[in-house]
Amino acid sequence: MNSAGATSPLAGSTVEALQAAWPAASRVRAVVTLRAGGVSRPPFDALNLAAHVGDDPAAVAENRRRLRVALALPAEPLWLSQVHGSTVVDADRPAGEAAIAAPPQGDAAVTRLAGRVLVVLVADCLPVLFARRDGGAVAVAHAGWRGLAAGVLEATVQALACPGGALHAWLGPAIGPDHFEVGEEVRAALCEGEPRAAQAFVPNARGRWQCDLAQLIRQRLASLGVHSVHGVPSCTYQQSQAFYSYRRDGRTGRVAALIWLER
């Protein structure tokens, strides 16, 4: 347990989740799942929630069912087809059965209505959860380096339709700088138009760079006027028992970052 969140089994369930500790309104619920408590077999063991990684579809369906029960979700989450871009899906627009058969493409989602559950899937990229201070809207963004370069955070804050100072943000677990090695092309893409971004890169002995993804995100949020920023220091690469990591394992599952407004 730390000041940014607490990990615990959910009541009456083997599912475990990291619950956000931040000053969001009491009607805001925000969690990130851990990999324990599901039925998927290696290398997806155990609570893989992604349908696109090669896992048994029946196992994914059971894992998602367990998630709904453990969190007492008010509705099926709005699963997205994530492409490392900047599209923000408005969950308040009617989607019907099409959203279940073919998830909408996007890397962020926003809602102003109670009972709409937003979700992104991650395995090293950093999930950013947003809540308006008045509890009137919430959003979630999938922020890897490509999404950052594409402007996913800027698009999400714009979709929330309020100044950055009227928002709280919570940063979920992601790959840490000791394990996130990138090339010069990535550094150049992330430093373009953001001079402070260079502070988030440290050269290594291989002529490449160690990248601090969380620092980059905090810089961008500050530029957007979002100063109430909270989060966890967890590294997905290091903590193999708790998190999936694409960099570490290649073929692996995904945890989910979820946020919704209670009715």
Coil, strand, or helix at residue 80? coil
pLDDT for 95: 59
Q: How many domains does the chain have?
A: 1
Residue 116 lies in a domain: yes
Angle between helix axes 152-159 and 213-223 (nearest 10 degrees) is 40
Structural domain span for residue 166 = 5-175+228-261
The vertex-9 CA angle with 142 and 110, nearest 5°, equals: 25
Please tell me the predicted confidence (pLDDT) of residue 233.
83
What pLDDT, on a 0 to 100 scale, did the predictor assign at position 14?
84
Confidence at residue 97, expressed as pLDDT on a 0 to 100 scale: 47
Residue 33 and residue 20 in contact, taking contact as beta carbons nearer than 8 Å: no
Sheet holding 255-261, edge to edge: 5-9, 16-20, 28-33, 255-261, 118-122
Ranges of residues in the chain with a pLDDT under 50 are: 1-4, 9, 11, 96-98
pLDDT of residue 232: 82
Per-residue pLDDT tens digits for 115-156: 999 999 999 999 999 999 999 999 999 999 999 999 999 999
Asked if residue 235 lies in contact with residue 165, where contact means CB atoms within 8 angstroms, the answer is no
pLDDT attached to residue 194 = 87
Does some domain include residue 53? yes
First to last CA, the chain: 28
What are the C-alpha distances in Å from 67 to residues 12, 19, 71, 132, 155? 12, 14, 6, 25, 28
Distance between CA 99 and CA 154 in Å, rounded?
Answer: 25
Residues 66, 142: Cα–Cα separation, whole Å: 23
Say what the pLDDT of residue 13 is.
Answer: 66
Give the residue among 148, 158, 130, 146 at the shortest CA–CA distance from 83. 146
CATH classification at residue 49: 3.60.140.10
126 strand-pairing partners = 143
- Cβ 31 vs Cβ 18: under 8 Å: yes
Condensed to tens digits (0 to 9), the pLDDT of residues 241-259 reads 999 999 999 999 999 999 9
User: What contacts 47, CB < 8 A, 6 or more positions away?
Assistant: 15, 33, 34, 35, 36, 37, 38, 40, 63, 66, 67, 253, 255
In a domain, residue 216? The reply is no
Domain assignment present for 193: no
In three-state secondary structure terms, 211 is strand
Q: Is the peptide bond before 137 cis (omega within 30 degrees of 0)?
A: no
pLDDT (0 to 100) of residue 102: 80
- Backbone dihedral region of 19: left (phi > 0), alpha (psi from -120 to 50 degrees) or beta? beta
Vertex 192, ends 247 and 230: CA angle to 5°? Answer: 60
The answer to the question of residue 199 being in a domain is no
Q: Give the pTM.
A: 0.92
Whether residue 200 lies inside any domain: the answer is: no
